[in-house]
Structure formats: C-alpha cells, structure tokens
C-alpha cells in the first residue's frame, strides 16, 4: 500500500522495502521453486501460508494499487469489453483487466499465476464469484473455506467448529499438496505469536487518535498503517519490526503534541474529529483526503481499517489455540458482522474518540459494505446525537468519482457541524 505514499518516515521506508521485496519474490517465484497462493484480505490465513513457505498474493491489494496508480479505469473497461457487467464489483473487473494486460503488479514486476486459489469466503459474497472467475482464467485449483456470517452478533461454537474442521480437512491438506510440506503446528504457533505482537502495536497506534489533537488520520493515513498486517506480512518479524517503528514514531508525535502528517505536510489545527464508515476511493485518494485536511477535518476512527481484522476489541491471534484463533479471526472480520454490531462499533467509536460526527462513504459496487449503510447511519445518529453524512463513489472505477459533488457534500456536512456547534448541540 505504500507505493504512492507521501509519508517518508522510517516506518514508511521500511514498509516500502518490505513490499518491494515481497513482489520481487513473487516475480521470481516460479523460477525459484516457490508457490503463489492467491487469497483475500478479510479472512486471510497468512500465518498458515507462511507455515508452508507459500507466498500470498492479495488481488484486492493489487486492485487498490492499480486505482492509486490510475491504471484501474482502463482495466475495468477492458473487463467490461470482455463481457463483465458494469454493475458488479470494480475490484473484480480491475483484477481481470490487469490479468489480461500482462498481470504486472504494483512494483512493475509481473505477478506469478496462482498455484492455488485460497477462497476464504469471509464477509463478502463476491469473493466466491471472483475466484470462480479466476479458476477459469488460470485453470488453478481452489480451496474453499466457508466462514459463516455472524448474524446474531456473536461467534457460536457451531461456527467455530465448522471453520476449524474445514481448516483441518480441506485447507491444510490443500496447502500440503501444493507445498509438498507437512503441516507443522509449532511453526504456525510461532507465526501467530508474531502476529499478536504486531496487533498490539497496531491497536496502540490506532488508539492514539483518542488524543487531542489526534496524531494520526485513522482513515486516509491509517490505510498505510494497516497495509502490512492486512496483507502478506502478518506473522512475520518484518511486520513486528514495522509496527514497533511506527508505534515509536507516533508516540513521538504524541509527545510533541502534533497532528497527522498529510501529503502536503503537517495538517493545520484540528477543527473536526470524524468517524468514517466504508472503504476509501482509491482513484482520487489524495484529492479526497485533501477535501478533509484542508478543512482541518481529521478522521479519528474508521471501520475500513478493520476489514482485515478487528483487533481493538481485544482479539489477538493466539498461539495456544492456533486453528481456533484463526477461525475466530476470520469470523470476526468487520464485514462478517451483522448491521447491529457494525452500528454499535461506530457508536462506540463516536463516543470513545469523541467525534463531532460520522460519515458514510458508500461504494457503488460493494454490497457487502453498502447495503444497509443508511440504516446504520440512522442508528448511529440516534444513539450519539452527532450528525451523520453520506456520500457515494467507487473504489477503483474513476467514472463514479464526482469530485465537485463530493466536495460539496463534505463542505456542507462540515458546515452542518458548525451550525450545530453554534446551536450548542456539538462541541
């Protein structure tokens, strides 16, 4: 996620080097006898892949990188010309368009075709269709992990047993076949312990946003922070070191009483503290961020930074119960939670982070996030008394990003907060 990063702290340099190294390993994977496993961010089983010395590829990350590098528009249209509908998830079309344009990854090197498609079906129905499509494209085998939805707002023993059984009887045997290695639970425990360390530091960083001023932007800025843990690095010493570095940097900002760093340098005085629901737009990421920081609006908490795992409610990968904790991780990802749980999370954020209000960014082609968001908005408004706002665009399809319209919405929303302040409703 750091390819286009404007933040040049040591942690960022470190992340950039980690990513470059990983994509290089992928580029030479097949020459060096390594196997590539494609999988998804929510419900990724990175520690398990590491246990088998397999290299993860995250098509969503490639798609968002293509969005940031202004390549996604062409990829999406290429897929549409091939017969993919205008109405469906643009990540899928971006990925297929990229595949048919040489499969060049974000660092400019070619991605290997998958040796296995690890379909961790967690929190989004589209994942299922996406890998069915890739199965046809690559003629690669699929290992399916069905992660049930937390419809009652909790993980039941039946759900956990089901996932663990699949891990034992479907996923691990598939990884053994692909890698030619036996499952080694001790190795898995080792990686899980490293995950937990990195998770502690990530939570610490995200929670610094409770301070005034917040030293971080927990949406636009934090997409960089969650990069390693959401993708190929959870469970590695690289990730542990990255999060130690990051934590130290943010703690220094706190000590100096500084606000977030933006692409244009330090942000001015913090005027609005917001909570945001929904993923960002990637094709105009900086432009969108600018609409906020120029107004002194900082995002203090977001749900997007929980799609790859929710850690601020205390969950940690746990080496003492390896497969169960992987199951709980998958089951607990943000979009695998029901609407009431999602609303409650937002309500808690608004209160705990003392936000002036919250905004919903609705993604045109993402039903997993978007269906029901307006009701969430209504619930959060009711429970917190803070104003909610709503705007729409897309993740990687630039045709659906209307800058003027969105700017207008954001500005009117911030004005509304001002008016409420004047009326004494919001501090």
**Footprint on residues 368-407 left by ligand SF4 (CB under 6 A):** 368-369, 395
Q: Is 370 in the site for another protein (CB under 8 A)?
A: yes
- Smallest gap from residue 195 Cβ to ligand SF4 (A): 22
Give the residue, chosen from 343, 345, 346, 389, that forms a contact with another protein under the rule CB under 8 A: 343
Shortest distance in whole angstroms from residue 69 CB to another protein: 25
Which residues share a beta bridge with 427? none
Partner residues linked to 361 by β-bridges:
391
How many positions of this chain bind another protein (CB under 8 A)?
51
Please state the separation of Cα 125 from the chain's center in Å.
16
Taking CB under 8 A as the rule, does residue 283 contact another protein?
A: no
Q: Is 92 in the site for another protein (CB under 8 A)?
A: yes
Cis peptide before 213 (omega within 30 of 0): yes
Residue 11 or residue 122: which is nearer to another protein going by CB? 122
CB 309 within 8 A of CB 189: no
Q: Which of 312, 286, 296, 403 is nearest to 7 (CA)?
A: 286
Question: How far is it, in rounded angstroms, from Cα 215 to Cα 325?
Answer: 32
Among 23, 75, 91, 121, binds another protein (CB under 8 A): 121
Decide: 39 and 329 in contact? Cβ < 8 Å. Answer: no
Between CA 103 and CA 82 the distance in angstroms is: 16
Q: Which stretch binds another protein (CB under 8 A): 107-115, 160-168, 255-263, 316-324?
A: 160-168
Within 216-245, the residues that bind another protein by CB under 8 A are: none
Please state, in angstroms and rounded to a whole number, the distance separating the CA atoms of residues 212 and 354. 9
User: Considering only CA atoms, which of 202, 198, 189 is closest in space to residue 237?
Assistant: 198
Residue with tokens 């399916």: 144
Q: Residue 396 binds which entry of another protein, ligand SF4, none, with Cβ cut-offs from 5 to 8 Å by kind?
A: none
Task: Candidates 3-11, 31-39, 149-157, 244-252: pick the segment binding another protein (CB under 8 A).
Answer: 149-157
Name the residue nearer to ligand SF4 (CB basis): 368 or 379.
Answer: 368
| 367 near another protein, judged by CB under 8 A | yes
Q: Give the integer Cα–Cα distance in Å for 122 and 94.
A: 20
Answer yes or no whether residue 124 interacts with another protein by CB under 8 A. Answer: yes
Q: What string marks each residue from 100 to 119 as x (binds another protein by CB under 8 A) or -?
A: -------------------x
Residue 89 as a binder of ligand SF4 (CB under 6 A): the answer is yes
Quick one: three-class SS letters along 70-88?
CCHHHHHHHHHHCCCCCCC
151 contacts another protein (rule: CB under 8 A): yes
Per-residue binder mask for ligand SF4 (CB under 6 A), 123-162, x = binder: -x-xx-----------------------------------
Assess 87 for contact with another protein (CB under 8 A). yes
Q: How far is the CB of 126 from ligand SF4 (least distance, A)?
A: 4
The CA distance from 131 to 92, in Å, is 9
First-last CA distance in the chain:
35
Residue whose C-alpha is closest to residue 130's, from 41, 25, 2 = 41
User: Residue 162, interface with another protein (CB under 8 A)?
Assistant: yes
- Report what 395 binds from ligand SF4, another protein, none; CB cut-off 5-8 Å by kind: ligand SF4
Q: 5 vs 393, which CB is nearer to another protein?
A: 393
The three state secondary structure string of 39-77 is CCCCCCCHHHHHHCCCEEECHHHHHHHHHHCCCHHHHHH
Cα–Cα distances in angstroms (integers) from residue 19 to residues 6, 129, 310, in the given order: 16, 28, 23
- The site partner of 165 among ligand SF4, another protein, none (C-beta below 5 to 8 Å per kind) is another protein
CB of 128 to another protein, least distance (A): 6
- Host H or E run for residue 363: strand 357-363
Q: What is the torsion angle, in degrees rounded to the nearest 10, for the CA atoms of residue 282, residue 376, residue 424 and residue 418?
A: 20
Q: How far is the CB of 347 from another protein (least distance, A)?
A: 13
Q: Measured at the alpha carbon of residue 82, what is the angle toward residues 80 and 85, in degrees to the nearest 5?
A: 35
Site for another protein in 312-341 (CB under 8 A): 338-340
Smallest gap from Cβ 81 to another protein, in A, equals 12
Whichever of 119 and 417 has its CB closer to another protein, that residue is 119
Binding site for another protein (CB under 8 A): 82-85, 87-89, 92, 119, 121, 124-126, 128-130, 132-133, 136, 144, 146, 148-149, 151-152, 158-159, 161-162, 165-166, 169-170, 338-340, 342-343, 362, 364-365, 367-368, 370-375, 379, 392
Binding site for ligand SF4 (CB under 6 A): 60, 89, 91, 124, 126-127, 335, 366, 368-369, 395
């Amino acid at each position: 996620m750091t390819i286009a990063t404007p933040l040049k702290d040591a942690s960022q340099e470190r992340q950039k080097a980690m990513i470059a190294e990983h994509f290089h390993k992928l580029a030479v994977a097949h020459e060096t006898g390594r196997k590539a496993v494609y999988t998804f961010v929510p419900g990724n089983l990175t520690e398990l892949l590491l246990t088998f010395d397999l290299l993860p590829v995250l098509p969503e990350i490639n798609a968002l990188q293509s969005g940031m590098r202004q390549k996604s528009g062409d990829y999406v249209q290429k897929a549409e010309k091939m017969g993919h509908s205008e109405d469906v998830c643009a990540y899928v079309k971006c990925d297929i368009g990229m595949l048919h344009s040489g499969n060049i990854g974000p660092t400019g090197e070619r991605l290997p075709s998958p040796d296995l498609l690890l379909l961790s079906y967690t929190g989004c129905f589209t994942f299922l269709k996406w890998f069915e499509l890739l199965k046809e494209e690559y003629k690669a085998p699929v290992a399916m992990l069905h992660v049930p939805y937390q419809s009652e707002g909790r993980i039941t023993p039946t759900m956990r047993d089901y996932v663990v059984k699949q891990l034992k009887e479907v996923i691990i045997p598939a990884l053994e076949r692909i890698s030619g290695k036996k499952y080694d639970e001790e190795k898995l425990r080792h990686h899980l312990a490293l995950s937990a360390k990195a998770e502690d530091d990530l939570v610490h960083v995200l929670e610094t946003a409770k301070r005034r001023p917040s030293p971080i932007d927990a949406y636009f800025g934090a997409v960089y922070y969650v990069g390693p843990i959401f993708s190929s690095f959870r469970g590695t010493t690289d990730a542990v070191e990255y999060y130690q570095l990051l934590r130290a940097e943010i703690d220094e900002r706190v000590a100096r009483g500084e606000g977030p760093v933006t692409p244009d340098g330090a942000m001015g005085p913090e005027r609005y503290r917001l909570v945001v629901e929904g993923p960002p737009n990637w094709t105009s990421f900086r432009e969108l961020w600018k609409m906020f920081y120029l107004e002194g609006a900082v995002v203090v908490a977001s749900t997007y930074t929980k799609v790859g795992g929710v850690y601020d409610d205390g969950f940690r990968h746990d080496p003492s119960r390896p497969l169960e904790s992987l199951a709980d991780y998958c089951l607990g990802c943000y979009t695998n939670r029901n609407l009431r749980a999602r609303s409650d999370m937002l309500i808690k954020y608004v209160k705990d982070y003392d936000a002036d209000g919250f905004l919903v960014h609705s993604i045109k082609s993402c039903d997993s996030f978007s269906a029901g968001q307006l009701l969430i908005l209504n619930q959060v408004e009711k429970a917190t008394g803070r104003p909610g706002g709503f705007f729409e665009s897309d993740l990687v399809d630039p045709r659906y990003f209307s800058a003027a319209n969105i700017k207008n919405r954001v500005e009117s929303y911030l004005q509304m907060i001002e008016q409420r302040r004047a009326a004494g409703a919001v501090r």
